[in-house]
Chain A
Amino acid sequence: MRVLLVEDEARLVELLRSTLVDAGFVVDAVMTANDAREALAVGAYDVAILDLGLPDGDGLDVLALARRGGKSIPVLVLTARDAVEDRVRGLDTGADDYLVKPFATNELVARTKALLRRPGHALGTTLEAGNVLFDTIGRDVRIRGETLSLPRQELSVLEHLMRRLGRVVPKAVLEEKLYGMDDELASNAIPVHVHHLRRKLTESGATCAIHTVRGIGYLLTEEPS
């Protein structure tokens, strides 16, 4: 898994590099907007981590250029600016996610992996959360090597929670994914599916848990075993 890290602060580069390497990534780091442009144009990276405040230009310009050039590489933006306008501008320019400094390095790793878990990206075929493995092509779930058989609806819910590991997935999004699968989508369909899924995961000794954010949706987190 190759990561392009664009960051001008040398000490931060070293820290992030070691963290990302520990998490199983191969890291290429550049420190200027110019080098970033070249690296994006040439290299085949799975994901890019892009700091916005670069000595020779704005990271957003680098991003805009890459997007105009047809690059669909997932980009996680690091920013010291946190005003809403800046964030919206970043996402409008084509960032897939953003992280405001200061951040915890494990959060950076989690977000980077989440980008790769999106359909069509490097980790999109086999999802992992704790000891749960989800093969999105074979549509099967394994926990500690044993297959957990789940109905289609529960598979779909689990898949989307795993793709957004550590982040809240709105109930409305899950309902949308299930639309057409159930003959009639009852208003409590999602809570019922989640309830069953939660029980089955616990019974199988899964080291991940589904939390309810009442009024919004659900959140899958990895739990210490």
Chain B
Amino acid sequence: MRWPRSLQAQLALRLTTVLVVAAAIGVVALFHESDQTADALRRQELLQRAEELARLVDRAPEGTVQVRLSPGLEHVFNSPGATDLFVVRSEGGNILATSRRDLAAATNGWPAATVEPRYTRIRGFGAAGQEYCALSLLANSPAGPVSVIVARAIEADTLAYTVLKDFARDIAWAVLLFALAILAVAVWSIRRGLDPLRAVSAEAATIGPTTTGVRLAADGLPSELRPVVTGFNRALDRLERGLTLQREFTANAAHQLRTPLTILTAQLEQIPDSPTVQLLRGDAARMNRLVEQLLRVARLDAIPPSQEVVELNALVAGIVRGLAPWAIGQKRMIGLDGPDQPVWVSGRADALEDALRNLIENAVAYSPPQSEVTVTVLREGAVSIADRGPGIPDQDRQRIFERFWRGRAAQGPGAGLGLAIVAQVAAAHGGSVEVEETKGGGATFTLRLMPVELPAAGVPTSRIAASY
């Protein structure tokens, strides 16, 4: 049997086991004790009987020795179904009187009786299997010393056994009731004791990446549980500190890296054109992009997306508006298609923006001049970006989403991070990103997200539209 994991079940099981074992030991001990008592009583009675019998032995005037039973003893020994038996022998071993011949026969070989009473258990005569308790005693009688053996069927004590059995049964009931009462109390105490834990669990469930300030209340908790809660709270403190450090690091790194890059870029712009300067400008642009993407990765790693609700039409329109001047500067066109009604998805606007910017920037970079990059918001909560570039070979369609995979990035301006960011954002949003061929040539990337119904009141919605 598997040991139950629930504290309640464990306690109940153990208490019940202890109770049952204790009751069993009690009953056995009681039986044993009562057996002993009955035995002692029986011996005393048998001894009295034997002495009484001895007193009734006398010598008749003609010289024969006889036993004259009193009416009381007559009833005890000779009534039908009597359970008491006796044999009286002379000192020489001759039977003077007996209530049953087979007892006399069975005791024939016994050693001579002594003045000290001797107790034995005998069987093998009378009813089959019947056990008798027997006593032999050498006693003085009016006719001189005689040997008396008295025996009693052990079952004759049924009264005592009946009483005991009844008692055991009553005890069993009491034990059962006791067990139930203890179980009830145990279950109740545990439930009451653990109630605050349930409240704490509910509190803990509200802790997320955006609510790292929440701490569990230890008030009202049983003292045994307090260390768990304080330990948990300390762990939260450390985690929050770590998260804060990480965020600060990202922000600081952004500032520290970007300012020198800005200076480098600006300085290169002011140097008169030459083939070398053009190469250096390209390098600076590439470094800018790499830093940008590394920071996006760091941000994504540090802060998992929270469950806000984002309207895709507005988000994508904002991104396309922001990128259009650059794309047009690159002699590429860009177009947006989308449904008339809003498309709500669950996610985080800045992460989704990172992903979509990456996809659109890639599409523009790989498109031939004068062609259009078509961005389409799909009603089912997805965005597809179609270009007219060289497309992605079948065998690369999985690997392009790996970090620093240098397939098409090796020839292009990328650092090999962009699509990994997209894949990471998609995964963190419970969505996916896939690539297929554009009809007529080129690559179409589709970012699929989790659509939600119209946002309920109180759900934070993104203000992305305000930033453009």
Residues of A whose CB lies within 8 Å of any CB of B are 9, 11-12, 15-16, 18-19, 53, 80-85, 87-88, 91-92, 100-106, 166-168, 170, 211-217, 219, 221
Q: Are B270 and A18 in contact (CB under 8 A)?
A: yes
Q: Does B211 contact A (CB under 8 A)?
A: no
Q: Does B436 contact A (CB under 8 A)?
A: no
Supply 22 A–B pairs (Cβ within 8 Å), ascending by A: A11-B267, A12-B262, A12-B266, A18-B270, A19-B266, A80-B255, A81-B255, A87-B467, A91-B467, A102-B258, A103-B262, A104-B266, A167-B321, A168-B325, A211-B333, A213-B324, A213-B335, A214-B336, A215-B317, A215-B337, A215-B338, A216-B317
Decide yes or no: A168 and B467 within 8 Å by CB, A12-B262, A84-B353 being known contacts. Answer: no
Q: Are A81 and B335 in contact (CB under 8 A)?
A: no
Q: Does B89 contact A (CB under 8 A)?
A: no
A9-B263, A101-B259 known; 13 new pairs, CB 8 Å cut-off, are: A9-B259, A12-B262, A80-B258, A87-B467, A105-B266, A166-B325, A211-B324, A212-B333, A213-B334, A213-B335, A214-B333, A214-B336, A221-B329
Chain A residues closer than 8 Å to B269, beta-carbon distance: 104-106
Q: Are A213 and B320 in contact (CB under 8 A)?
A: yes
Q: Are A219 and B467 in contact (CB under 8 A)?
A: no
Q: Are B258 and A213 in contact (CB under 8 A)?
A: no
Chain A residues closer than 8 Å to B372, beta-carbon distance: 214
Q: Are A215 and B335 in contact (CB under 8 A)?
A: yes
Q: Which of B325-343 contact A (CB under 8 A)?
A: 325, 328-329, 333-338
CA distance A214 to B299 in the complex (A): 32
Residue of B264, B270, B321 near A216 (CB, 8 A) is: B321
Cβ of B228 to closest chain A Cβ, rounded Å = 35
Q: Does B421 contact A (CB under 8 A)?
A: no
Cβ of B159 to closest chain A Cβ, rounded Å = 93
Decide yes or no: A88 and B463 within 8 Å by CB, A15-B266, A19-B270 being known contacts. Answer: yes
CA distance A18 to B263 in the complex (A): 13
Q: Are B267 and A15 in contact (CB under 8 A)?
A: yes
Determine the residue in chain B with the shortest Cβ distance to A167.
B325
Q: Are B270 and A81 in contact (CB under 8 A)?
A: no
Main secondary structure of the interface of B (DSSP, over half): helix
Counting residue pairs across A and B whose Cβ atoms lie within 8 Å, the total is 107
Residues of B whose CB lies within 8 Å of any CB of A are 251, 254-255, 258-259, 261-267, 269-270, 288, 299, 317, 320-321, 324-325, 328-329, 333-338, 349-350, 353, 372, 375, 462-464, 466-467
Q: Are B321 and A213 in contact (CB under 8 A)?
A: yes
CA distance A101 to B284 in the complex (A): 13
Q: Are A102 and B262 in contact (CB under 8 A)?
A: yes
Chain A residues closer than 8 Å to B270, beta-carbon distance: 15, 18-19, 105
CA distance A82 to B372 in the complex (A): 28
Chain B residues closer than 8 Å to A53, beta-carbon distance: 255
Closest 8 CB pairs of A and B: A215-B336, A214-B335, A101-B258, A80-B255, A102-B262, A84-B350, A102-B261, A15-B266
Determine the residue in chain B with the shortest Cβ distance to A108.
B266
CA distance A83 to B272 in the complex (A): 35
CA distance A214 to B386 in the complex (A): 14
Chain A residues closer than 8 Å to B333, beta-carbon distance: 211-214
Residue of B251, B254, B259, B325 near A221 (CB, 8 A) is: B325
Chain B residues closer than 8 Å to A87, beta-carbon distance: 467
Q: Are A102 and B288 in contact (CB under 8 A)?
A: yes
Q: Are A211 and B336 in contact (CB under 8 A)?
A: no
Chain A residues closer than 8 Å to B463, beta-carbon distance: 84, 88
Chain A residues closer than 8 Å to B336, beta-carbon distance: 213-216
* Candidate in B328, B349, B375, B462 with the most chain A CB atoms within 10 angstroms: B328
Determine the residue in chain A with the shortest Cβ distance to B466.
A88
Determine the residue in chain A with the shortest Cβ distance to B462.
A84
CA distance A213 to B329 in the complex (A): 13
Q: Are B262 and A219 in contact (CB under 8 A)?
A: no
Residue of A80, A83, A170 near B321 (CB, 8 A) is: A170
Chain B residues closer than 8 Å to A170, beta-carbon distance: 317, 321
CA distance A213 to B261 in the complex (A): 30
Q: Are A84 and B266 in contact (CB under 8 A)?
A: no
Q: Are B254 and A168 in contact (CB under 8 A)?
A: no
Decide yes or no: A84 and B259 within 8 Å by CB, A214-B335, A216-B321 being known contacts. Answer: no
Q: Are A84 and B299 in contact (CB under 8 A)?
A: no
Q: Are A168 and B321 in contact (CB under 8 A)?
A: yes
Chain A residues closer than 8 Å to B321, beta-carbon distance: 167-168, 170, 213, 216-217
Chain B residues closer than 8 Å to A12, beta-carbon distance: 259, 262-263, 266
Cβ of A99 to closest chain B Cβ, rounded Å = 10
Chain A residues closer than 8 Å to B262, beta-carbon distance: 12, 101-103
Chain B residues closer than 8 Å to A212, beta-carbon distance: 333
Determine the residue in chain B with the shortest Cβ distance to A211.
B328
Q: Are A104 and B265 in contact (CB under 8 A)?
A: yes
Determine the residue in chain B with the shortest Cβ distance to A8.
B259
Chain A residues closer than 8 Å to B261, beta-carbon distance: 101-102
Chain B residues closer than 8 Å to A103, beta-carbon distance: 262, 265
CA distance A16 to B259 in the complex (A): 13
Chain B residues closer than 8 Å to A19, beta-carbon distance: 266, 270
Chain A residues closer than 8 Å to B265, beta-carbon distance: 102-105
Chain A residues closer than 8 Å to B349, beta-carbon distance: 84
Chain B residues closer than 8 Å to A83, beta-carbon distance: 299, 350
Cβ of B466 to closest chain A Cβ, rounded Å = 6
CA distance A165 to B334 in the complex (A): 18
